Amino acid sequence: MNGQEEHIDSAKQDVLREIANIGSGHAATALAALLNRPIIQTIPDVALVPLADVPECLGGPEKTVVAGLIELTGDVSAFFLIVLELQQADRIIDMMLGDIGRDKTGEVWQLSELEESVVAETANILGGSYLTAICEMTGLCIQQSTPYLSVDMVGAVMSVVLAEAGKTGDIAIIFKSELYNDDERIMGDIILLPDEASCGKILKSLGFEA
């Protein structure tokens, strides 16, 4: 993606990939049960990206997405941002609601209350899966909030997180979840955004000097 990534040594990359692997495995199991269909997991990709470059990695600042924000507290202070493309959200809602399906009649892409809770629950599962993986690997004790949803431009949803991280941290960890149903990638990206102290704490708990 850019020069910043070159500074991350491969050992760190391996550990992050292992977190992604475990997290994505948990998520696949949970989603398969929830959606009642096979979910196939391929090797997830993971990247450390400077905060300012995150919108570009997600398709540009003006792209409309469904975003779930989960606040992490406890041993670390961080956010999970779960980003779904509109079609991915459509697909998940269709699968979860079955016959009721997604109401696509409106001109404007919006979510009914029921659909919103479907998306929130999916974000919750994905966040919880990755959080469990992080806690297992680091031994840190972290709690997660319920997800807050927003359907808006990538740049706009990122700004809240940037404001928090703008105080200290400068790096985001992007897990590209690779969960498929019938060759269709159904899950979006999950981004871990720790503040600077928390980033150090996570890396230290994994056995690296921050």
Told to check if 123 binds another protein by CB under 8 A, we report no
What's at 187, amino acid-wise? M
Number of Cα atoms under 13 Å in the Cβ half of residue 95: 23
Told to check if 154 binds another protein by CB under 8 A, we report yes
Point out which span in 24-32, 124-132, 145-153, 174-182 binds another protein (CB under 8 A): 145-153
Report in angstroms how near the CB of residue 207 gets to another protein at its nearest: 27
**Which of 55, 169, 188, 194 is the binder for another protein (CB under 8 A)?**
55
Number of Cα atoms under 13 Å in the Cβ half of residue 200: 6
**Which of 18, 90, 121, 148 is the binder for another protein (CB under 8 A)?**
148
**Which of 9, 141, 163, 182 is the binder for another protein (CB under 8 A)?**
163
Can you list the positions of beta strands (E) in 11-112? Answer: 40-41, 45-50, 64-74, 78-85
**Cα-based distances in Å from 172 to 67, 94, 113, 128, 136:** 16, 31, 31, 18, 20
Told to check if 197 binds another protein by CB under 8 A, we report no
Told to check if 104 binds another protein by CB under 8 A, we report no
Q: How far apart are CA 152 and CA 84, in angstroms?
A: 11
Told to check if 136 binds another protein by CB under 8 A, we report no
Answer yes or no: are the C-beta atoms of 174 and 16 closer than 8 Å.
Answer: no
Told to check if 61 binds another protein by CB under 8 A, we report yes
Told to check if 152 binds another protein by CB under 8 A, we report yes
**Cα-based distances in Å from 53 to 5, 147, 156, 186:** 12, 23, 14, 24
Told to check if 109 binds another protein by CB under 8 A, we report yes
Report in angstroms how near the CB of residue 152 gets to another protein at its nearest: 4
Told to check if 166 binds another protein by CB under 8 A, we report yes
